[in-house]
Structures are given as C-alpha cells and as structure tokens.
Amino acid sequence: MKYLAPCLALILLGAPAMAQSVGEKTGINSTLGIAPKTEDFVKQVAISDMFEIQSSKIAQERGNADQKTFAGIMIKDHQGSSADLMALAGEWKTSLPTALDSTHQTKLDKLKSVNGADFSSRYNLEQVSGHKDAVSLFERYANGGDDPKLKEWADKMLPTLRHHLEMAQEMAAGKTVGKH
C-alpha cells in the first residue's frame, strides 16, 4: 500500500507527456486540430515518407499505368522530403526512425500480399488516406508547431502534399493522373 501513492504519482505526472504522443497516435489531436509535438511530427513524417516510398515501389511493379505514374512522383517527392527532414533533424541532433512502425508495416505487408484489382484498390485507398493524414499533420504543425524552421518547412510542403492528395483522389476515382 505504501508504494501505491508514489506509483500513482509517477503515472499521473507522466500522463501529460504521454497524452500528447498518444493523442497524435490515436488521431485525437487531428480531430481536435491540435499541433503535434516536434518529436511526434518528425517521427510521423519520416515514417510516412518511408511508407510512401516503399508502397510506391511495389506499385511500380504491380500497379496499372496511372498508379505507376503516380508512384514515380511519390518516390521522387518523398525522397526529397526525407532528405529535407534529415537535414533539419541534423540541426537538432535528433535521430529519425529507420523502420516503419507496426501500423505502416502491416499496411505494407497487406499491399505485398495482393495483386491485380485488389492491389489497385488497396494502394488507392492507402494513398488517399495517407495523404489526408499528411495534409492534416503538416497543416497543424505549420499553424502551431514549436520549431520555427520546421514550421516554415511544413508550410512550404503543404501545396505539394495537397497536390498529392488531389492526384490520389483522382486516381481512386478512376481518372487519369495528371502531370506533377
């Protein structure tokens, strides 16, 4: 019993720090329009870029003509985004994740397990969903993040991400993907 109070105090003191990360991870921050912490933003951008690149490499092998065109643009743009993020992270001496989180790895594994129309449907769904999430993440950080250089970069990236979302939505609707 004498250990219960100190343990409870530690849990309660740690809750605010954990809540922001959990809030970002669960989507609550997005729903409420709350800016992510810098660490959460950087981690999510790095993982999102890795997922976009890896899933688009699969699309270049298995996708239809529009998906292959779209995938080429995603690989090029997200490699550029990753390079920018690495340069910025170097300024803060922050390390970036080098592997996908379990959620994105599961999505990638599902993409790897399907072909044909099932692949096309899943890839389109992941691209629309992922780019909606990315636009929300970047908007929230650009508007309320705490690192000025990173806020500026997030704001600069938004037109590209919005264009990616628009192309993904067109592709999912069966329209020909336009030029970048």
pLDDT tens digits for range 98-146: 999 999 999 999 999 999 999 999 999 999 999 999 999 999 999 999 9
Count how many domains the chain has: 1
CB contact at 8 A, 115 and 23: no
pLDDT tens digits for range 20-29: 355 555 465 5
pLDDT tens digits for range 146-168: 999 999 999 999 999 999 999 99
Instruction: Answer yes or no: is 17 within a domain.
Output: no
Residue range(s) defining the domain that contains residue 125: 38-172
Instruction: Answer yes or no: is 28 within a domain.
Output: no
- The CATH number of the domain holding residue 140 is 1.20.1260.10
Instruction: Answer yes or no: is 122 within a domain.
Output: yes
Lowest mean pLDDT among 23-27, 39-43, 134-138, 171-175: 23-27
Its pTM stands at 0.81
The answer to whether residue 40 scores a pLDDT higher than 70 is yes
Q: Counting every residue, how long is the chain?
A: 180
Predicted confidence at residue 62, as pLDDT, reads 96
Task: Give the separation between CA 62 and CA 59, rounded to whole angstroms.
Answer: 5
